[in-house]
Amino acid sequence: MAAQEIWIGNDHGGYELKLQIVEFLKKKEFAVHDVGTDSTEIVRYPYFAQKVAAAVSEGRASRGILICSTGIGMSIIANKFNGVRASLCTSTFMGKMTRAHNDSNILCLGGKITGTFEALDILEAWLSTEYEGGRHAISLGLIKDAEEAICNPAGWHPDGQTTAVI
């Protein structure tokens, strides 16, 4: 069986943590497609977030990891892509719950706010937790409907009605 491939992207603030995560993933026999920067030289995170989020959105990757200083910027840009459910996690519980309830397909981490051991615990929980489905599928269906409507000039309304954008 071929190793599952995970795409990983980072900016300068996530470089050091990325090195630890790549090593961890390889020990777990994951294939890693690294599209992040290879140094601590200042770069702009949206370029790297786009690479991973586009791969997940287009089905070229099933899961991705994004790391910047806080994880906030990466999560903001990644969630602009259809079908992406990027989750910024700062605890192991969050890593588990975002997979179980939200079927998160991109994990965002903060290289300057989360220590290596905690980040690896979060990653382990995120990798090993299966999506529960059931009642959670209702919310994911609403998210999908919202994405389709928001990307449509008619707009989206939470109760399912579309309204013209003024």
Span 17-60, pLDDT tens digits? 999 999 999 999 999 999 999 999 999 999 999 999 999 999 99
Other Cβ atoms within 10 Å of 120 Cβ, number: 19
- Give the rounded percent of residues in the chain with a pLDDT score beyond 70: 89
118 and 36: one domain?
yes
Rounded (5°) CA angle 159-135-90 = 95
Read off the CATH number of the domain in which 18 is found.
3.40.1400.10
Closest CA to 149 of 133, 135, 163, 130: 163
Instruction: For residue 166, name the pLDDT band (cuts at 50, 70, 90).
Output: very low
Other Cβ atoms within 10 Å of 77 Cβ, number: 21
79 and 145: one domain?
no
Span 122-156, pLDDT tens digits? 999 999 999 999 999 999 999 888 888 887 656 55
Number of separate domains in the chain: 2
Q: Provide the pLDDT for residue 165.
A: 45
Instruction: Indicate the pTM of the whole model.
Output: 0.89
The range of the structural domain enclosing residue 53 comes to: 5-132
Q: Catalytic site residue 157?
A: no
**Backbone torsion region of residue 30, taken as left when φ is above 0, otherwise alpha when ψ lies between -120 and 50, otherwise beta:** beta
Give the chain's mean pLDDT: 92
87 and 111: one domain?
yes
Q: Provide the pLDDT for residue 2.
A: 52
Active-site residue (options: 33, 101, 136, 157): 101
Q: Provide the pLDDT for residue 162.
A: 53
